[in-house]
Amino acid sequence: MPTVHKMLSSPLMCAPVGPWSNAIEIIPGARYIFTAGLVGDKPDGTFDTDIFSQTEQTFRNLVSILHAGGMNLDHVVKLSVYLSDLANQPRYAEARSAALGNRRPAMSLFEVASLAAPALLIEIEAIAAKHD
């Protein structure tokens, strides 16, 4: 399967300071999946109360929806991550690293005043691309 994207960098800017890319270029002819904001709800609708578990479940939910579209985490080119408390970032980063391994999608991280429900600590949107 050919690679559908390549990481872009510039000598005129600082390299990423974390496990992400500054930019991703998509090769023409790819199809895309754009997710809604995914959260750490389990199939029964319940949530764990800690950021690590919610992040793990959010990535499981992302994998599930990507599989429904014939893709997997290797196809993710962009993540937008929303945390209700930036103090949760270190534990989120641990769970993200476990889920993504060496993958380096472009990523934005935001602290928000609240998410859709008080129990939510994280929400992730993703864009994935794949050649068929």
pLDDT confidence band for 68 (50 / 70 / 90): very high
pTM attached to this predicted model: 0.88
pLDDT tens for each residue of 20-31: 777 777 878 889
What's the 3-state SS for the chain? CCCCEEEECCCCCCCCCCCCECEEEECCCCEEEECCCECCCCCCCCCCCCHHHHHHHHHHHHHHHHHHCCCCHHHEEEEEEEECCHHHHHHHHHHHHHHHCCCCCEEEEEECCCCCCCCCCEEEEEEEEECC
